[in-house]
Copies of this chain bind each other. A is one copy, B any other.
Amino acid sequence: MLTFNLDSKSKLPLYEQLYKYIRNELETGGIKAGEKLPSKRELASHLKISVVTVETAYAQLAAEGYISPKPGSGFYAEAVQYAQTPEIKNIYIPEKSPGKKYRYNFKTNMVDTKLFPFSTWAKLSREILSEQSPELLSACDPRGTYELRKEIALYLKSFRGIEVHPDQIIVGSGSEYLTGLIIQLLGRNLIYGIEDPGYTKIYKIFHGNCPDIRPISMDEDGADYNSVKRSGADAVHITPSHHFPLGSVMPVNRRIELLKWAYDSDGRYIIEDDYDSEFRFSGRPVPAMQSLDSRGRVIYINTFTKSLAPSMRISYMILPPELLEKFMKELGFYACTVPVFEQLTLAKFMERGHFERHIRRMKKLYRQRRDTMTEAINSCGLKNCIALSGLDSGLHVLMKVNNSMTESQLVTSAENEDVKVYGLSGYYSFSKKDVPESCIIAGYSGLNEEDITEGVARLEKAWLRN
């Protein structure tokens, strides 16, 4: 007769302990296929447990196909075809922090979260939750809640000169996610043109999803019109407000030229990634291509990841009417990926002017850091061998270094001083043959002023030692 120790202190109910025991016997051959199990009464009396407990365990085993009842005769073990206990799995654990850490890391796209208004955010969250509205828990419109889309539309009108209806706005958890949706919407078999150099993630997304992608080369005004034209692309992804990593701002005439390119043929689109247009330090931003477009060929995309916090996965895009209709029909089944809590909190944050104030404070902080960076360079020996550019917007500078070191020598010698800067060549995804010599990218948004100054002093040491 089956015998095992019941553990009355276990968190598992008795029937489940019994179930597990018998299942294990079946799986390991302790009970063979076809063998009759003890009657419920017998087993209950043998183990000093109730008949109901045995009944429950048997019912469960029968439901799962381990045993089968024969009417009037009791339960019989089934042939359990696969009886092996899973092996101890050899789990791949990726390194937590691949690569060396540097004391002074001029990483790009860092967000300083020191100024994040925690208490305001907490207060607004509490307000939202205390309303206990069923809306908070129900799935929202696939485009996001109307409340947030309305605030985004108002913000775009006041600060970006873009007039759109909230219904054209689609909220999603990050620009990467939205870019994936755009590819699904336009079709993965279009030919996509991508800025080269450019944002490596964008390259990876298009490369991973679309069979035919082409490089768009850059000049001092941003994406090169002739390159776009020659590329054969149906749709191009560009960053006219602030090119990453070159820092160029596309003048209005180039924007108009590119729009004309889009109008020249049916089915051509421009994906305008306006990713850090909030951080323009002089004057107001050039009009977005979205607002220059009268024929529905621009898809505008922007994010709160850089303006609020990277952990806050909220981005949005604006679709022209025709694409919006297609989106709702073909992709409207996708639930909006941003939690409604977060959407409503952000909407209130914007409605009450906190977002505007936050951007202003961040901009001030970043401007100080940029000034510290340029002053440090211009007041030391590097002044004569560095041409700085990309200073008017964004959160990094481009340095053309003229000290007869190669890019990789510049990077390595900085590393030897515990400073991390980035070679421009790393942002070329298609081919490295057109990479300008000795250009370095340095982000200043993640370092305080003291560290920036010290970091630059060390760069001077590294690059001018000889």
The residue on B at minimum CB distance from A250 is B65
Whether A82 contacts B287 by the Cβ 8 Å rule is no
CB within 8 Å of B: which A291-320 residues: 291-294, 296, 305, 309-314, 320
Give the contacting residue for A94; candidates B92, B134, B328; CB below 8 A: B328
The residue on B at minimum CB distance from A180 is B180
A259 within 8 A of B: yes
Stretch at the interface among A44-52, A331-339, A383-391, A451-459: A331-339
A138, A200, A313, A333: most-surrounded residue (chain B CB, <10 A): A313
CB within 8 Å of B: which A129-173 residues: 129-130, 132, 134-140, 158, 163-165, 167-168, 173
Bound together, the chains give a CA A132 to CA B253 distance in angstroms of: 46
The residue on B at minimum CB distance from A204 is B333
The residue on B at minimum CB distance from A142 is B94
Whether A92 contacts B324 by the Cβ 8 Å rule is yes
A99 CB contacts on chain B under 8 angstroms: none
A174 within 8 A of B: yes
Number of copies: 2
A191 within 8 A of B: no
Stretch at the interface among A118-126, A395-403, A435-443: A118-126
Bound together, the chains give a CA A341 to CA B338 distance in angstroms of: 12
Q: Known contacts A82-B256, A167-B94, A311-B140; decide if A173 and B338 are in contact (CB<8 Å).
A: yes
The residue on B at minimum CB distance from A167 is B93
A414 within 8 A of B: no
Whether B321 contacts A253 by the Cβ 8 Å rule is no
A254 CB contacts on chain B under 8 angstroms: 65
Bound together, the chains give a CA A305 to CA B140 distance in angstroms of: 13
CB within 8 Å of B: which A57-101 residues: 59-60, 63-66, 78-82, 84, 86-87, 89-94
A305 CB contacts on chain B under 8 angstroms: 335
Whether B321 contacts A340 by the Cβ 8 Å rule is no
Whether B208 contacts A330 by the Cβ 8 Å rule is yes
Whether B184 contacts A251 by the Cβ 8 Å rule is no
Q: Known contacts A121-B129, A283-B60; decide if A341 and B260 are in contact (CB<8 Å).
A: no
Q: Known contacts A91-B321, A93-B165, A139-B310; decide if A81 and B176 are in contact (CB<8 Å).
A: no
The residue on B at minimum CB distance from A319 is B92
A408 within 8 A of B: no
The residue on B at minimum CB distance from A19 is B284
Q: Known contacts A256-B81, A286-B64; decide if A176 and B137 are in contact (CB<8 Å).
A: no
A430 within 8 A of B: no
Bound together, the chains give a CA A121 to CA B339 distance in angstroms of: 14
- Sample (22) of A-B pairs whose CB atoms are under 8 Å apart: A59-B283, A60-B284, A65-B251, A81-B256, A81-B260, A82-B256, A86-B163, A86-B291, A89-B296, A89-B320, A92-B324, A92-B325, A93-B167, A113-B134, A118-B130, A122-B129, A135-B311, A137-B309, A137-B310, A173-B173, A176-B334, A342-B342
Kindly list the 3 A-B residue pairs having the minimum CB-CB distance in the complex, ordered from nearest. Answer: A65-B251, A311-B340, A113-B137
Known: A90-B321, A311-B341, A313-B337. 11 other contacts (CB 8 A): A63-B249, A80-B256, A81-B253, A82-B292, A113-B134, A137-B311, A173-B313, A173-B337, A180-B180, A201-B333, A305-B335
| B-binding residues in A (CB < 8 A) | 11, 16, 19, 56, 59-60, 63-66, 78-82, 84, 86-87, 89-94, 111, 113, 116, 118, 121-122, 125-126, 129-130, 132, 134-140, 158, 163-165, 167-168, 173-174, 176-177, 180, 184, 200-201, 204, 208-209, 249, 251-254, 256-257, 259-260, 282-284, 286-287, 291-294, 296, 305, 309-314, 320-322, 324-325, 328, 330-342
